[in-house]
Chains A and B, each alone.
Chain A
């Protein structure tokens, strides 16, 4: 298994470099560095100011040298400074990862737990009105657009019912209350699809031979579901969720904008609109890295929970 993990990590490096090259060429293929300089300088910059800016940010060097430098820097985690504001990108990421992770991890854990519980419940009552009503409800939940949840629940839970602040993330005023409404929104918005998926996983298992055997032996239905079926259904559930865990620190754009959570959501999108190549490069690199880590973790988790899988 160790050998497999090492091999996977080594394979990840060319993938990372490939993504970096692609980002570089896409960005500079579409935008002339002079246009980037103009966007970042005040209004009506002189040609001298533009040259100065390009020199300050290293965009006046030959393309090959820039490419080499930016790729090597990324692999060494030297993210450098934002082209737009000059702030240290690494500091910004460190500052933003915490709040993003706080919200997203709680949403992830709560959402996963509730979704599995409801899926078990629905599977237990399969074919009855509980199942049918559950299906209807999940389809409704899936059909509603994310922004609607945000605006609707922010208004209803925050403003009408006053259960928590409609905006803010003030550590000194106690974080718990700021997290309440965003977490409820995150969970409600994501839960419909998860329940549908996990229910299918559970029903796939319910029709297996070992379940029939267990029942034949007189094991009660509840025990069958919780002890045998759920355990086996966890394998597909794991594969669909573990990969997303590392990317939780990147946060959610809309939720963070509406609730003023000082996370990383939207950092990349803002950078793209500002033509801030330094940030785009760093965030794309980070996103790729985290996704790759997610996939490796999934494979390891898979081997751990399923004795039939051996990583060689």
Chain B
């Protein structure tokens, strides 16, 4: 018998080729696997080795900052960056609380206040003189801007009072769209005229002086702010980045790119910005001298918050802000140890908390600590007081609003929509603000499941069981909102069902944010949910939300106006903190609670997670410059990162084995086919095997 295959030359050729092919496949797969291992072997860290070994903070923000222009930026994420680049006259003491303490930062000494007569021109051309105030601010004389190409030779220029005056002028420029400009517009002398001139002029004339913000003719580091009314809150505005010194050269050099090229004098400067990816702050060699505080609150020393007392700030050389849009990605990075801190959201809630709302033991083992801080904010429902059905100060409509207020259960709201992380609000003021009274209980926020009192009030308002006797139909409440996604609709639904227990029909009117704002502006809303975060810890910054003249387009979205409340407000805003001011606030509270234009619901609680290698962590509800006080135990972080990030190649090997074993029968099929062909060829048959 012939040894068949060997006798057929073409079959031998195929075998040789098949062998070569097989060898090639094996070599390629081995190469691919090796390449994968090599690729994986070089660490899964998103940072360079230098960044990993240095004193660098790894943080995250959820989106690209829209603007880092200190005259415009107004979001929490942006402030984390802007406030480190643009320091202000005052800053909040990092550790002191109750009350929050302002201390001099760029300021050389406390401002000097003098009584100042101000002449006001009335519309009819007549003039009258009122008692105003002049504040004189003096800056330190050794401040410099960061080095930047906008300066001659690229070296940071000396800072004088002119640079702060320039920031005031920018705020008055309508094209800059400064969000706090309205705070100043009616108080700083000459502001409206200055602002108007900008609108009219084609060329922007920043050389022109503003009457109410003047340079001192003798001292280049002093400037004066002249106000037509007492305005003690000016102190706080001097701690907001809007009043930080800005270099006119930088604004004019970068033009439209200025929002992405900040030039300041803070502890850090922006050294790298890759949109959609990362933003890096590096310590500024021209920063002014500043040290970590040596006095804190009782307990701070025990908590290790004074370990770095007296050390030169900032304590880390770099901060990397990773711009991570998907919370899944940032959560994965955090658990690998590549982010120092994380927030808690609906995505990771289950992994963070145990059933009893404590930190999960897994995270605790990794050195994570959980912080809950009540934010200085208030969330509320507001009626449009200009609405014919629900608005107005008539006794009947007051009772209608009070009844609805009584139907909204804050505890249920907090459990269902905030996972327990909020405290119920009784009035406008949140904890931490002067005038907040923890013992106060709003009589129209006491929920009882039977709704006895609410139903009684509703009947007294003329709508027994929620039915309008004129039409014989259920009374309708239009709930204007921006809930266009599932989560938003769910929350609208929960609140609507609470109110509907009264018998009233609630109709949701969702619209896009821009249309919602337009609706509010035109006063076409009936019932809305809104929130407010403090700019500064003075009660004025909250109670002004109900001040009549602040109606839309101002911040009073309820369009509430009660002459008694307005009179008390005007009295209160210029007072110093003390029992007298507290008494006035109490009266304002009594008036507004009875009128019930607002239904205060919650004060939010921010939940955050931090690893133990981050030192000096203490949340401040107002200051955003905390990062300069943070310290990093780099060795601890690196050893943890190494331990947590060891690649596991077992599944890869298993996969390869499955492929090899799985393809064995296929190889057999190939063999069989070739052999069959050869046998048939021997027998003189056809070679078709289809």
For B44, B174, B521, B690, which residue has the most chain A Cβ atoms within 10 angstroms? B44
The distance from the CB of A277 to the nearest CB of chain B, in whole angstroms, is 13
Q: Any chain A CB within 8 A of the CB of B30?
A: no
Q: Any chain A CB within 8 A of the CB of B352?
A: no
Contacts of A215 in B (CB 8 A): 687-688, 690
Contact with A along B643-658 (1 / 0, CB 8 A): 0011111011000000
Q: Any chain B CB within 8 A of the CB of A241?
A: no
Pairwise interchain contact B48-A173, C-beta atoms closer than 8 A: yes
Category for how many chain A residues contact B? 35 or more
Contacts of A45 in B (CB 8 A): 177
Q: Any chain A CB within 8 A of the CB of B21?
A: yes
Pairwise interchain contact A173-B669, C-beta atoms closer than 8 A: no
Q: Any chain B CB within 8 A of the CB of A262?
A: yes
The distance from the CB of B347 to the nearest CB of chain A, in whole angstroms, is 10
Q: Any chain B CB within 8 A of the CB of A46?
A: yes
Within B160-185, which residues are at the interface with A (CB < 8 Å)? 174-175, 177-179, 182
Chain B contributes a number of interface residues (CB within 8 A of A) equal to 78
The distance from the CB of B689 to the nearest CB of chain A, in whole angstroms, is 7
Pairwise interchain contact B44-A166, C-beta atoms closer than 8 A: yes
Pairwise interchain contact A52-B199, C-beta atoms closer than 8 A: yes
Contacts of A178 in B (CB 8 A): 46
The distance from the CB of A94 to the nearest CB of chain B, in whole angstroms, is 12
Contact with A along B79-106 (1 / 0, CB 8 A): 0000000000000000000000000000
Contacts of B10 in A (CB 8 A): 218, 220
Pairwise interchain contact A172-B48, C-beta atoms closer than 8 A: yes
Q: Any chain B CB within 8 A of the CB of A26?
A: no
Q: Any chain B CB within 8 A of the CB of A222?
A: yes
Question: Are A165 and B323 also in contact (CB < 8 A) when A42-B179, A44-B553 are?
Answer: no
Pairwise interchain contact A42-B72, C-beta atoms closer than 8 A: yes
Question: Are A129 and B336 also in contact (CB < 8 A) when A168-B46, A177-B42, A260-B277 are?
Answer: no
- Interface pick from A60-68, A78-86, A242-250, A286-294: A78-86
Q: Any chain A CB within 8 A of the CB of B219?
A: no
Pairwise interchain contact A260-B324, C-beta atoms closer than 8 A: yes
Contacts of B179 in A (CB 8 A): 42-43
Q: Any chain B CB within 8 A of the CB of A159?
A: yes
Contacts of B199 in A (CB 8 A): 48, 52
Q: Any chain A CB within 8 A of the CB of B571?
A: no
Contact with B along A193-237 (1 / 0, CB 8 A): 000000000000000000000011010111100000000000000
Q: Any chain A CB within 8 A of the CB of B372?
A: no
- Interface pick from A1-9, A14-22, A251-259: A251-259
The distance from the CB of B75 to the nearest CB of chain A, in whole angstroms, is 10
Contact with B along A32-56 (1 / 0, CB 8 A): 0001001101111110110011001
Pairwise interchain contact B47-A49, C-beta atoms closer than 8 A: no
Q: Any chain B CB within 8 A of the CB of A130?
A: yes
Contacts of A52 in B (CB 8 A): 174-175, 199
Q: Spell out B's residues near A (CB within 8 Å).
A: 10, 14, 17-18, 21, 36, 39-40, 42-49, 66-67, 72, 74, 174-175, 177-179, 182, 199, 256-257, 259-260, 274-278, 322-326, 328-330, 332-333, 335-336, 338, 513-515, 517-518, 521, 552-555, 645-649, 651-652, 665-666, 669, 673-674, 677, 681, 686-690
**A and B contact pairs by CB, cutoff 8 A, 12 listed:** A43-B179, A44-B552, A86-B259, A87-B256, A130-B666, A168-B47, A168-B322, A173-B48, A215-B688, A216-B688, A260-B325, A263-B276
Q: Can you name 7 extra interface pairs (CB under 8 A) apart from A159-B336, A163-B40?
A: A38-B517, A53-B175, A96-B276, A159-B335, A180-B36, A216-B686, A222-B18
